[in-house]
């Protein structure tokens, strides 16, 4: 398992203006309601996912701090979650993310070839965004689709048994 130690970013004015609209609060509250009252921290992952999506695909330090305050949990505990799981980004990304699984099943079924293909064809390494800003490329841990490896997550959609040609089609279809 890998551990990302990306530096935490400086909060932006945009975050201060836009964080926690009534809609975001309502969505987070919906997740909090799934757990006993004293365990509202259990909603930290969906809360981070919602806020990241709302913020254009990444989490600033201020956003993580606001999630901590909203869930009554230590800030460091939120940082631990956000830095451990690969679906959270702590630096700005492109609106589109192409995430290639490189855990064992996918590696055995050709994910390394897919990664090399993307690196060569689009000039981008894992963790980087293409020069035209079309997508951020990520190498991620198991996506839970091992049976149909290699698996790739593009936006919110899982794609299985992918070839380089199919992956190109998906990338070319990105807006
Ligand atoms: S190893 Fe790739 S989806 Fe599980």
Which residue is associated with the tokens 């600033």?
60
Q: Does the beta carbon of 107 lie inside 6 Å of ligand 1? A: no
The CA-CA-CA angle for residues 10, 16, 22, to 5°, reads 140
Cβ neighbours of 117 (radius 10 Å): 17
- Using the mean position of ligand 1's atoms as its centre, give its distance from the Cα of residue 135 in Å: 21
Give DSSP secondary structure letters for 4-18.
Answer: --PPPPPP-HHHHHH
Q: What would the CATH number be for the domain defined by 97-172?
A: 3.40.30.10
CATH number of 13-84: 1.10.10
What pLDDT, on the 0 to 100 scale, is given for residue 113? Answer: 97
Side-chain half-sphere exposure of 90, counting CA atoms within 13 A: 20
Q: How would DSSP label each residue in 39-65?
A: GGGGGHHHHHHHHHHHTTS---HHHHH
- Gap from CA of 140 to ligand 1 centroid (Å): 9
CA 13 to CA 32: how far, in whole Å?
Answer: 27
Single out the residue of 140, 1, 11, 6 nearest to residue 83, CA to CA.
6
How many angstroms separate the alpha carbon of residue 19 from the centre of ligand 1? Answer: 34
> Would you kindly state where each structural domain of the chain is located, as residue ranges?
13-84, 97-172
Per-residue pLDDT tens listing for the chain (175 residues): 333 434 444 444 444 444 678 888 899 999 999 999 999 999 999 999 999 998 999 999 999 999 999 999 999 999 999 999 989 999 999 989 999 999 999 999 999 999 999 999 999 999 999 999 999 999 999 999 999 999 999 988 999 999 999 999 999 999 7
How far, in Å, is the centroid of ligand 1 from the Cα of 66? Answer: 33
What tokens were used for 108? 């055995």
CB of 114 closer than 6 angstroms to any ligand 1 atom: no
The minimum-distance atom of ligand 1 relative to the CA of 150 is 2
Asked if residue 149 has its Cβ within 6 Å of ligand 1, the reply is yes
């Amino acid at each position: 398992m890998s551990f990302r130690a990306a530096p935490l970013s400086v909060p932006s004015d945009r975050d201060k203006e836009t964080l926690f609209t009534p809609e975001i609060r309502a969505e987070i509250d919906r997740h909090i309601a799934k757990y006993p009252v004293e365990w509202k921290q259990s909603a930290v992952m969906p809360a981070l996912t919602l806020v990241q999506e709302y913020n254009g695909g990444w989490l600033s330090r201020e956003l993580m701090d606001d999630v901590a305050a909203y869930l009554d949990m230590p800030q460091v505990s939120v940082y631990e979650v956000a830095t451990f799981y690969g679906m959270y980004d702590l630096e700005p990304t492109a609106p589109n993310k192409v995430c290639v699984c490189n855990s064992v099943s996918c590696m055995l079924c050709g994910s390394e070839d897919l990664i090399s293909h993307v690196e060569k064809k689009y000039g981008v390494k894992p963790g980087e965004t293409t020069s035209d800003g079309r997508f951020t490329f990520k190498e991620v841990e198991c996506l839970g689709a091992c049976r149909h490896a290699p698996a790739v997550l593009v936006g919110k959609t899982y794609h299985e048994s992918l070839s380089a040609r199919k992956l190109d089609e998906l990338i070319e279809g990105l807006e």
